[in-house]
Chains A and B, each alone.
Chain A
């Protein structure tokens, strides 16, 4: 930033609009504003600060900065406008900055002599920043504060715009904190510190998120899936074995039946048994079907159980309808049509304010809008349907129960018949028949034992298949989670490493800059002092302690005179500016007040070459 021009109006003692131009030439970069004490040098310094940063530094803001003469001449209700314009260039671009404060002069009371007492209320405090185009046109920059801060940060500027009398504080014993603050501000170390702190928070957030993604979960699920698959294989093997056994038993029974059939004296009995067994199978199937049907009907049992509630609802609805609180089926549109046409369906006229009109209006007030109205109208019908349905369910259950009882009786009868045939064949005197029947019976018992086992094994397989599906679903989710977890872990690792690197950068950056500032401070301080000065070296410790060393290498800061301290502080500020290569003007209010002749001459010779632009307000 190089300041080209400052215009003031009604700022402190600057009454009418006044403009001061500044030297920006590379060769002639010094502007000196000289005047008697109280002529407005410090206020010019304040005006630049106020215009660019909204704070003047040495004087109060608000009504304090408004020119008093302008205020006293303003009558009740008049607005007084204070304006400071700063024209500056940066990076070969020209800017125009205007800050305006408008305050109204309002009489609130009178003193005991009747004189009016005025109070000034700030109305607007506005900032305008424009970029001057090559054509001369000014285009407004939306984020004025932001742009100014990007050119010369607010924290940094106090080391470029400063009061010469106060700078020696930087080198006073016990002011090490000021040096540290200065280096931090000019180097903008808070940026790195903030990035480190923010990154720490983000790393912590990543750690929290990573806790959700357990790495062992997927491994355990894979193990479980393998276990379930093994179980299914075992069960299938068992089922296959049982089915073979079942087939073998059936084949054996068939062989016995063939052999028994070959014996003519029992042929009829064997054939009958064959038919009865077929019948028993059909009856068992029918019994199962009936049981299923009954189960299905039982699920609707709530309708039967709610019969009491239905009756109560029906009762309430009927009572309400009788009282006319709910429509009997007359729709809202019908009632409205009656009121509009003023003729009843019986042909009678409906007079205004008549009892008929009142009755229709009362009924209309009960009519509920839209769907609710339809629902209320349809409610009795629906309640009747529920009642009919409940009756039908009860009847159906009764029929099914009766059918089931009949089938059960028939099964019992058939089993009994079969038992008779079996006993008859077993007890026959014919040894061959008796033996065959006994062996057949054993095979039948084996068959009877195998069948439920086959059913159970089949159920077990289905159960395991469901478990497998659940596990597969869990694996799918866990795989997605693990993928996310891995991605998150990668981000977390990178964030952690970035944080570590930032911490190292911070240390290295500070170290490098400290060394550079120390070197420049030493060079500049040496060039500003007189030749036979006893102070030779400058050091800045790791703790940012600024020290001057005498020719014997001993700390000598306490021995510095006030003027030497000013030179020392100035050298330090210039060194910071040099080290950061900041493009900023040096504006010094009341400079060199305590500096003796020789160093003053040195400063006058060297300072213009050490700054981009120098503005002195002595």
Chain B
């Protein structure tokens, strides 16, 4: 997965977004999760893990 390219597109897309940092972090973390699951050939578990990732990032950027 070309994360550099995705990161570049992401920054451009979120240029004017006030919640740029958490959204960008969430998107990257979710994609990394999907890559990990694809490597394990186990696509399931997103319904539990995605909210955890979102919680973690939102709490980190709470201030």
Contact = CB atoms under 8 A, between A and B. Distances in A.
Contact of A194 (B23, B40, B41, B43): B43
Nearest to B10: A505
B50 A150 contact: no
A504 B46 CA distance: 21
A491 interface: yes
Interface residues of B, number: 33
A491 B19 contact: no
Interface string A189-202: 01110110011011
Given A194-B34, A198-B50, A202-B50, A501 B27 contact: yes
Given A198-B50, A202-B47, A580-B2, A505 B30 contact: no
Contacts of A590: none
B27 A505 contact: yes
A202 B26 CA distance: 13
A143 B37 CA distance: 12
A31 interface: no
Interface in B1-53: 1-2, 5-6, 9-10, 13-14, 17, 19, 22-23, 26-27, 30-31, 33-35, 37-41, 43, 46-47, 50-51
Interface string A108-125: 000000000000000000
A146 B27 contact: no
A205 B6 CA distance: 27
A187 B2 contact: yes
Contacts of A194: 34, 37-38, 43, 46
Contacts of A205: 47, 51
Contacts of B1: 188, 191
A497 B19 contact: yes
A509 interface: yes
Nearest to B26: A498
Nearest to B7: A505
B38 A198 contact: no
Contacts of A580: 2
A502 interface: yes
Contacts of B22: 494
B53 to A, nearest CB: 10
Contacts of B2: 187, 509, 580-581
A146 B37 CA distance: 9
A150 B39 contact: yes
Contacts of A146: 39-41
A145 B41 contact: yes
B8 to A, nearest CB: 9
Interface string A160-198: 000000000000000000000000000110111011001
Given A194-B43, A491-B58, A508-B13, 5 more contacts: A195-B27, A195-B33, A198-B30, A201-B46, A505-B9
Interface of A: 143, 145-147, 149-150, 153, 187-188, 190-192, 194-195, 198-199, 201-202, 205-206, 490-491, 493-495, 497-498, 501-502, 504-505, 508-509, 512-513, 580-581
15 contacts: A188-B35, A191-B1, A195-B31, A195-B33, A198-B30, A202-B47, A206-B51, A491-B55, A494-B22, A498-B54, A508-B9, A508-B13, A509-B9, A512-B5, A512-B9
